[in-house]
Structure 1
Amino acid sequence: MTRIEIRRRRILVDGRPDLVLAGEVHYFRVPREEWGDRLDLLVEAGCTCVASYIPWLWHELPDGTLDVTGSSRAERDLGAFVDLAAERGLTFLARPGPFVMAELKNEGLPYRLYTEHPEIVPVGWDSRPAPTRTVDYLAPAFLAEVQRWFDAVLPVLAARSAVRGGPVIGVQLDNEIGMLAWVSNSPDLTDGLVDDLGAWVSERYADRPAAGRLVAAARSAGSDPGWWRSLVRTPTGEVAADLRVELGLFMRERFAAYVDALASMVRGAGLDGLPLLINIHGTEGGNGVPFAIGVSQLYRCYAGKEGFAAGSDHYLGDMDRSTTTDIHFVNAVMEAVNGPDQPLTSLEFEAGTGDYEAGLDRLTDACAVDLKVRLCLAQGNRLINYYLLAGGINPPLEEKVGDGNDRISFTGRRHGTAAPIGPEGQRGLTFAATAAVTRAAGLHARWLADHDEERDDIALAFWPDAFLTEYHHPSSEPMTRVVRDLEAHRGPGPHKAMSRSWLFDGWRFSAVDVSDPGRPLPGVVALACGEVLDDGVQQRLVRHVRDGGGLLLLGPVPSTDTRGRPCTTLADALGVSAGERVRSTHRHYGSVRGLGPAAAWGEMRVGWWQELRGPEGAVPLVEDVDGHLCGLGVRLGEGRAAVVAAEVPSSPQLFTLLTEWLGARRGLGLETDVPGVVVTTSGTPAGERMLHVLNPTGYAASVAVTPGDPTDLLERPLAVPPRTGAILALGLDLPCGVRLDSANAELTELCDDGFAVGPGLGRQTELWVSGGRPSCADPEVDVVAAQGRWRVLAPDARAVRLAVRSPAAPA
């Protein structure tokens, strides 16, 4: 029996923190006689866990029976695949849907559901048919069918649960819930859902005065449901702004109710005691900022719920400065809404070359998987599932449907051609890189499973309702006007300037949900927003500043709430008023320059600026070249606010100047000759520490940091090659009985009588050891006593293998 818990932002296995390194292998796409080969490759890649979707579409036969034992075809024997993984010492992460996507037709649902239960099939705006194969998740007929599917598949998993001594360590509930409606902007407006919306709105405002026509309409829905349904599907100007907000809030609660229903089925089937996982969608076209839409949609499903964890699902291609910002943002916004026990995880972690259409349109560099894994681990990810680790062959449907290929997937015969392991089991272009970083993560797992990033007293403000933009009628100006404003300014700011500037100047930060009054705010909060900002958030930011906090506000001065009503609480408290925005054009080249505390910034071209007027004593920060003030500092109560009403580009210098004026200080100094290097530190409860260095650029970088190294080694410049990263010891207790106080090279081997490191980041490899006496068989490697420690020097930055002979301390 194994006890698996989610506590203190960790995955605990029998009380000990564990790092889960998984790879997705689709047993249904691999001939059964080749299952063992794929699992062997997964082990070779350094993974400790195998994950797989379990498609309802694959296991249901044309007569409606469900085969999960392989009676109709060997590749349907789910239990055999899980047992085979267990024989290799692997755990299993189950993803039984009911939706699984995975490039399967109907997203993995049987065809018959749509014909036998037409009431579950939604229409969208203007009663148009949904363009995707989505359903109304809470439709009674759908839930009954899901129960039937779970009754067949869950006992196979329950018999192999880790709680019963088996390999199954977690169950994902559904997949990318709400994604299909978001990407198509076609909400699931079945009659049942729209009627439920009316009841929900009426109850929500039961003790409040009628708030406009929407509430009045909802209250009359019972007597005239047809009129209410028509109003929701084709909203008029009077109700549109309210409907956008209420529909988004309602769907959050509906998704949460759906997840609760699935959780009840899973736990009732004997899988209680295992973590339940939610896969969050959202990256779009190589951009990570829309990921927060998925968080906004789904955080009510899992945030703060015992036994639940959420995982990211991201596809961002090559690792460049934009992708680095995106990955950091994805993890930050997940952490912003997580409960105190919930860890960061990634349930679909892109590992291949990126061309999912089996062509030559994209070829992601192998270094991308290495750098993405390292950044996620530095931020505290406890589970990474490579998707897709192994490709395969799409089997034919049991019944032809005449759709061009008659296979279970729309990708054709071969699937996962970009994966580290190809469809026929060949090692792909990224296999070696994936294996290398996975082995490095596994070697450091004892620390990575139990560490936390050491943060500065700053955070990016995350306002979930800024991403409540998944449903807006395309012809509704009240809806689209608010959505355009939110999309232009939210998250990390225009051009990702705020996050990118902090990240590349050595600030260590995450994000905080500013709409949740139960979450404490750090010393300095940075919010990128447009004219739209809810009154509750504005009030909280005012209190934060008055109580001695700092606020960095980037964007036009907020003037309305999400329903388009005037709302100037923050501006009024700060004494700030704003004029019209002046936008750059092909004839007007708006430029601004720093003043006062920001004077060293100089001058920059901007996309737009907005003239500001502040109270007496306001500190000028930014003005346009004609002298119009567009950035100022305000003192309010015990705190300060810096308001920058201009679309400034990424500028580490500007944002550091402003952040320090607000009272924050960096715990790490960073000097580098290449912009785009990321450094951070992390530590365990036992006081062991690591320095994480990433260079996603194509340039060799000289990197000097001040991480608090007692030996001074890591406070000297490091030479970091292009597109590489490293985990460097800042005091790690090794199994051989010594403490690695510092090293400019990453650990590559750990054993009971010694250890090894790779090439050093400099002219020579250097490390400092205490608590034992290291020795090296290489005569050119010097091991000398110094400062009460042993100093090891290897010429030519070569890899070093050391034996530890005795615990004798140096003289």
Structure 2
Amino acid sequence: MIEIKQKQIIIDGKPELLMVGEIHYFRTPRDQWENRIEQLKESGCNAVSSYIPWIVHEEFYRDIDLEGRQFPEHDLEAFIDLANDHDLYFFVRPGPFIMAEMKNDGIPYWLYEKYPEVIPVTWYGNQATTVTLDYLAPDFLKEVKRWYEAVFKVVVPRLHDHGGNVIAIQLDNEIGMLSWVSNNPDLTDHVLEQFKQYLIKSYNKNILTERYPFIEESFDTFKQEIRAPKHVNPLDLHKDLGYYMRQRFSEYVRILREFAESCGVSGVPFMVNIHGTGGGRGFTYPIGISQLYESYTQETGYISGSDHYFGNLDMTTFQDLYLINGMMDAVHLDDQPLTSAEFNCGDGNFGETLTGRYDPSAADLKTRMSIAQGNRLLNYYLMTGGYNRKLQRSMSDGNDRIATTGERHGFAAPISPEGEKNYTFDRMATSIKRMLAVKDKLAVMNEEHDDLHFAFIPDYYMTEYHYPDSDIEKAFVGNLTSNRAHASWELLARSIILSGYRFTGIDIQNRPIDVKDAGVLVVPSAKYMSEVIQDKLVAFIAEGGRALFYGELPRYDMEGRPCGKLIQALGVTFEKNHEANQHFYLSVQRVDDANQKELRTHFAQGFTLNGQLPLIKITDTNHYAGFKTQIKKGHVTVLTTPYKADLEFFRNILEDLGVKPGLTHDYQNHGIFTTSVRDKDERFIHILNLEAYEKKYHLLEHERMLFDGELLTLEGYEGVMLPIDININEATCIHYSTCEIISYDSKHVTFDTKSKDVKIKMTTTNKVSVSPEINKKQEDNNYIFTLKNNKEVETLTVYFE
């Protein structure tokens, strides 16, 4: 039995940490299947996953081969069973879309030919530029159901509840992504007929007629106006189309689940994966959350899975990963854990150009941060490369292969198509094994947070579709884009995290903002914000809430109508937006800076203060871009210019609002990430060095030295997970260790002692022996083991009798 509860994945009553590796059986010669699975096990993974590509298994209509009749690599049953023989769980990804660089993104050619009406048209009635389909077209769904029936005939007998190893099923892949990245919303007749009915149900007649004056005219007029709007506020359409598509995707997921369950699927979670990272950054990732959160929160039994493509985790990108995990958590149901459906690994050399290659630390550090934030499943994508066979039917497309990457595929994976491990494999494998060494602890631990939340507004990321010829909409999207991520992530979030604050996200759009639960609320805000959210924030602060606003204070609602309720409640007067250009060198000054040093900036929203305490003045004006004030019982700090990443400045602001960072260090040049996880009294401290050089520091908690004041050392791009009060058996507790646990059971614990200085403090009533012999201090049942200037001892094992 597999349960999803308390943010855990529980298999047969035992919380599990699942480290999964993706192997494409259909791209791997069958006589090499076992070798690749053995290599996957060598990496430490305890599960394997694979897409099941429709285009491969049913190249010709009604000729589905899942048994290996046409090609031995088609034998899905044999591959799942082989994984089971190696004691590996299996994660099934049957599409119908799979992407994976497959042609048509995994959809058979015959489907497009047989049902051309399901191919979407978009703005202006043009055909969509990406190969997509109308998800709810009856003929498409009819064929998907037939495909699912064939796949699940193989899978259902192998479900965990039936004695097999299948523990999760993904429903489709990256739903809505292709339309988003091309700004090609599906505006086919079938979709617009349903959209019109959605509008009629959503608004009373007077409001509907005001928003859509043509609503009672012919359907031809309606669809022309939606595809090329002339008599509608483009921001009204923007909102309504976005909301409608969310519901549509949710309905599609519900139908896919219904198909699977009608085929006998039960007892496993259904995953909906979220797309969105791009260019090695996470700025656009929450667009995927915005599109799909209604799909995976509509009912119990779902989990969401992220697609993480960040490359290296370093001083540029670390806050991206931390924030998107927090934003996923913000919209989850109470029981839903964080998971990753595609956790990028390998060397990043996707074009075989030997450029843009990742540091060996990339997968390791991302793993550590994600596990620290509560991820219970990571699917390393792609673990092994492979080959794209020829299609049986020539398409005269240059190579006639099943995928767009040529004959070889996955050449950036840790294991090449030929089965050779690249330079990233060992470091990745080490981190996987370190997590699984203490998986019974980590599987139930949650990140400890300071009294701080980062606000998430899904509609700020609902920018996947915008009418190309609307200047109003371009300005709207541009403003949201500039405020929601770059400045607020790069400067604000980066400074907060490096100051030692640990936090998660909070959905202030769909959920109440409770004064007791929210703590200090950090709100990246833009020129636009819905009236409902503005009212909610004002009420939160008035009741005693504390908030930091960063970006712009809103002057309009999300449909572009004037709405400045937040500004009005704050009691300031908006004057103008100040913007730098090639002839105007905009600068601001901190009022509390005795030297009144100016700081260049590109934007500042200027206000006249009416008794509020000034923080930042716009140079050579009487306008302010930063101030503190109160709304009844609550306290607010506002910054409306992208102030530099000044850790002391931001920490002072937050401390003034009443929250101090719980976990800090004394390294002066920054670049160290710290967080902690806990279950009851047991804890791990996670520490990452985000730069390439060695760092020495002390770790403090609430200003008290941890580890008895030991000086810690982290090599460049190194991460550690240090135990605090970890129970090894009923008689033994590790009070702390300045090195990691490699393995343990009731009779031993082994530590990684490659670091220069090691100190381990434990209590046990067992008889103790140590290998190799090192400096040991014993007082009754208390033991302290130390290694100083160690260069030779790589591991230390303590045995209990």
Normalization by structure 2: what TM-score? 0.96
Between the aligned residues of both structures, percent identity stands at 35
Match of 1:286 among 264, 276, 280: 280
Match of 2:306 among 294, 301, 312: 312
Q: Which residue of 1 aligns with 2:748?
A: 754
Paired residue type of 2:143 = E
Q: Which residue of 2 aligns with 1:583?
A: 579
Match of 2:519 among 511, 516, 523: 523
Q: Against the structure 1 CA distance between its residues 722 and 786, is the aligned structure 2 distance closer, same or farther, given a 3 Å change threshold? A: farther
Match of 2:682 among 681, 685, 688: 688
Following superposition, the deviation at residue 424 of structure 1 comes to 1.1
Q: Which residue of 1 aligns with 2:148?
A: 150
Match of 2:557 among 533, 557, 561: 561
Output the aligned Cα RMSD.
1.9
Q: Which residue of 1 aligns with 2:267?
A: 273
Following superposition, the deviation at residue 714 of structure 1 comes to 5.9
The 1-side partners of 2:547 and 2:270 are apart by: 37
Is contact 1:549-1:638 (8 Å) kept?
A: yes
Following superposition, the deviation at residue 22 of structure 1 comes to 0.1
Q: Which residue of 2 aligns with 1:217?
A: 214
Paired residue type of 2:788 = P
- CA shift digits 1:602-640 (9 cap, x unpaired): 653322222222332x11111234364210001111111
Following superposition, the deviation at residue 734 of structure 1 comes to 1.4
Which aligned pairs between 1:322-471 and structure 2 lie closer than 5 A?
322-471=316-465
Match of 2:788 among 781, 786, 795: 795
Q: Which residue of 2 aligns with 1:771?
A: 764
The 1-side partners of 2:781 and 2:508 are apart by: 48
The 2-side partners of 1:328 and 1:481 are apart by: 29
The 1-side partners of 2:153 and 2:486 are apart by: 44
Counterpart secondary structure, 1:210: helix
Counterpart secondary structure, 2:629: strand
The 1-side partners of 2:512 and 2:537 are apart by: 14
Is contact 1:673-1:701 (8 Å) kept?
A: no
Q: Does 1:86 align with 2:84?
A: yes
Q: Against the structure 1 CA distance between its residues 805 and 14, is the aligned structure 2 distance closer, same or farther, given a 3 Å change threshold? A: closer
The 1-side partners of 2:772 and 2:109 are apart by: 66
Deviates more, 1:75-84 or 1:524-533: 524-533
Is contact 1:304-1:341 (8 Å) kept?
A: no
Q: Which residue of 1 aligns with 2:225?
A: 231
Q: Which residue of 1 aligns with 2:32?
A: 34
The 2-side partners of 1:760 and 1:158 are apart by: 47
The 2-side partners of 1:229 and 1:33 are apart by: 54
Deviates more, 1:718-727 or 1:491-500: 491-500
Following superposition, the deviation at residue 278 of structure 1 comes to 0.6
The 2-side partners of 1:495 and 1:619 are apart by: 26
Following superposition, the deviation at residue 507 of structure 1 comes to 0.2
Is contact 1:22-1:51 (8 Å) kept?
A: yes
Match of 1:194 among 184, 192, 201: 192
Q: Which residue of 2 aligns with 1:656?
A: 651
Is contact 2:591-2:615 (8 Å) kept?
A: yes
The 1-side partners of 2:246 and 2:615 are apart by: 40
Which aligned pairs between 1:588-607 and structure 2 lie closer than 5 A?
588-596=584-592, 603-607=598-602
Counterpart secondary structure, 1:389: coil
The 2-side partners of 1:311 and 1:331 are apart by: 10
Following superposition, the deviation at residue 703 of structure 1 comes to 2.8
Is contact 1:30-1:393 (8 Å) kept?
A: yes
Is contact 2:746-2:800 (8 Å) kept?
A: no
Is contact 1:59-1:66 (8 Å) kept?
A: yes
Q: Structure 2 unaligned segments of length 5 or more: list them.
A: none
The 2-side partners of 1:418 and 1:280 are apart by: 22
Q: Against the structure 1 CA distance between its residues 97 and 805, is the aligned structure 2 distance closer, same or farther, given a 3 Å change threshold? A: closer
The 2-side partners of 1:612 and 1:671 are apart by: 37
Q: Against the structure 1 CA distance between its residues 582 and 63, is the aligned structure 2 distance closer, same or farther, given a 3 Å change threshold? A: closer
Match of 1:263 among 257, 260, 265: 257
Is contact 2:59-2:110 (8 Å) kept?
A: no
- CA shift digits 1:506-539 (9 cap, x unpaired): 0001110010234645111111122111111111
Counterpart secondary structure, 2:95: coil
The 1-side partners of 2:520 and 2:488 are apart by: 20
The 2-side partners of 1:711 and 1:580 are apart by: 48
Q: Which residue of 1 aligns with 2:530?
A: 534
Which aligned pairs between 1:713-724 and structure 2 lie closer than 5 A?
713=707, 715-724=709-718
The 2-side partners of 1:708 and 1:715 are apart by: 14
Is contact 2:59-2:109 (8 Å) kept?
A: no
Q: Which residue of 1 aligns with 2:722?
A: 728
Paired residue type of 1:569 = K
The 2-side partners of 1:489 and 1:308 are apart by: 31
Q: Following TM superposition, where does structure 1 have runs of at least 4 consecutive aligned residues deviating by more than 6 angstroms?
A: 598-602, 708-711
The 2-side partners of 1:753 and 1:689 are apart by: 21
Following superposition, the deviation at residue 127 of structure 1 comes to 1.1
Q: Which residue of 1 aligns with 2:122?
A: 124
Is contact 2:754-2:795 (8 Å) kept?
A: no
- CA shift digits 1:423-449 (9 cap, x unpaired): 111112211111111111111211111
Q: Which residue of 2 aligns with 1:809?
A: none
Counterpart secondary structure, 2:605: strand
Counterpart secondary structure, 1:257: helix
Q: How many residues align?
A: 795
Paired residue type of 2:126 = R
Paired residue type of 1:650 = A
The 1-side partners of 2:770 and 2:794 are apart by: 11
The 2-side partners of 1:4 and 1:94 are apart by: 15
Q: Does 1:22 align with 2:20?
A: yes
Q: Does 1:674 align with 2:688?
A: no
The 2-side partners of 1:708 and 1:766 are apart by: 22
- CA shift digits 1:670-695 (9 cap, x unpaired): 322332210011101x3201100001
- CA shift digits 1:746-799 (9 cap, x unpaired): 1112133221211365x52101001245432334x1111259621111122443
The 1-side partners of 2:218 and 2:705 are apart by: 77
The 2-side partners of 1:73 and 1:96 are apart by: 18
Deviates more, 1:651-660 or 1:376-385: 651-660
Normalization by structure 1: what TM-score? 0.95
Q: Structure 1 unaligned segments of length 5 or more: list them.
A: 807-811
Q: Against the structure 1 CA distance between its residues 623 and 716, is the aligned structure 2 distance closer, same or farther, given a 3 Å change threshold? A: farther
Q: Against the structure 1 CA distance between its residues 310 and 335, is the aligned structure 2 distance closer, same or farther, given a 3 Å change threshold? A: same
Q: Which residue of 2 aligns with 1:782?
A: 775
Q: Which residue of 2 aligns with 1:66?
A: 64
Q: Which residue of 2 aligns with 1:46?
A: 44
Match of 1:505 among 496, 499, 519: 499
The 1-side partners of 2:523 and 2:183 are apart by: 27
Q: Which residue of 1 aligns with 2:545?
A: 549
